[in-house]
Amino acid sequence: MSEPKFEVQMLHDRVMIKVEKEPGERRSTGGIVIPATVEQSNRLAWGQVCGVGHHVRTVKVGDRVLFHPDDQYEVEIQGENYLVMRERDLHAIASERPEHGTGLYL
């Protein structure tokens, strides 16, 4: 007999995000190689929205969002790690059709 499966539904203004893995080493704009072991404490991260609560107004499932990965709640579901945070903790959304964008593109 197998265990029943339950669908995860986010509540209120909560957003579930799968963090995008960054490549090991990076290059600065001047061409200097920055090794993967260098930790940057105030660096924001990109992730993909995997679930939203009923009171979330500006993001939807599938959006790429910019956020600070520290001080967020982490949960493991089926071997994958996700972050759970409030919508107000998101800093930006990457959109194909910007309405109030910065003019910068990924």
Is 30 contained in some domain?
no
Eight-class DSSP state of 22: P
- The pLDDT confidence band at residue 17, using thresholds 50, 70 and 90, is very high
Q: How far, in Å, CA of 64 to CA of 62, rounded?
A: 7
Q: Which domain holds residue 47?
A: 1-21+43-95
Q: For tokens 């499932």, name the residue.
A: 61
Q: What are the pLDDT digits (tens) for 41-95?
A: 577 888 999 999 999 998 989 999 999 887 788 888 888 889 999 999 999 988 7
Q: What is the pTM of this model?
A: 0.70
- The pLDDT confidence band at residue 27, using thresholds 50, 70 and 90, is low
Is 62 contained in some domain?
yes
Number of folded domains that form the chain = 1
Q: How far, in Å, CA of 20 to CA of 16, rounded?
A: 13
pLDDT at 39 exceeding the cut of 70:
no
